[in-house]
Amino acid sequence: MGAKPCTPKAPVVAEDAEKYSELEGALRQLETELVERIRLEGELHHVNRALELQFTNSCAELAAVNEELRREKHSRAEEQKEISVLRENLFRQKKAFDVVSQELDSFSYSVSHDLRAPLRHMIGFSGVLLEDFRDSLDATAQSYLDCIVRSGLKMEGLIEALLKLSRVTRQELRLASVDLSELARACAASLQESAPERRAVISIADQLSVRADAELLKAAMDNLLQNAWKYTSKKETATIELGHKQEGDARIFFLRDNGAGFDMRFADRLFGPFQKMHREGEFEGMGIGLATVQRIIHRHGGRIWADAAVDAGATFFFTLSD
pLDDT digit string (tens) for 228-243?
999 898 889 999 999 9
Q: Report strand pairing: 238-247 vs 200-204.
A: parallel
* Contact (Cβ atoms closer than 8 angstroms) between residue 216 and residue 299: yes
Cα distance between the two ends of the chain: 138
Report pLDDT for 88: 86
Structure confidence at residue 3 (pLDDT) = 52
User: Residue 178 has what DSSP assignment?
Assistant: E
Low-confidence ranges of the chain (pLDDT < 70): 1-15, 101, 104, 112, 275, 277-283, 285-286, 322
Strand, coil or helix: what is 131? helix
**By the 8 A CB rule, do 293 and 304 touch?**
yes
DSSP state of 264: G
Q: Give pLDDT, residue 283.
A: 64
Could you read off the pLDDT of 143-200 as tens digits, one per residue?
888 888 888 888 888 777 777 777 777 777 889 999 999 999 999 999 999 898 999 9
Q: What is the pLDDT of residue 285?
A: 62
The torsion angles phi and psi of 205, rounded to 5 degrees, stand at -65, 150
Cα–Cα nearest to 219, from 192, 187, 193: 187
d(CA 319, CA 322): 7
* 201 CB-near residues (< 8 Å, 6+ apart): 237, 238, 239, 240
* Per-residue buried b or exposed e for 3-26, using 16+ beta carbons within 10 Å of the residue's own CB: eeeeeeeeeeeeeeeeeeeeeeee
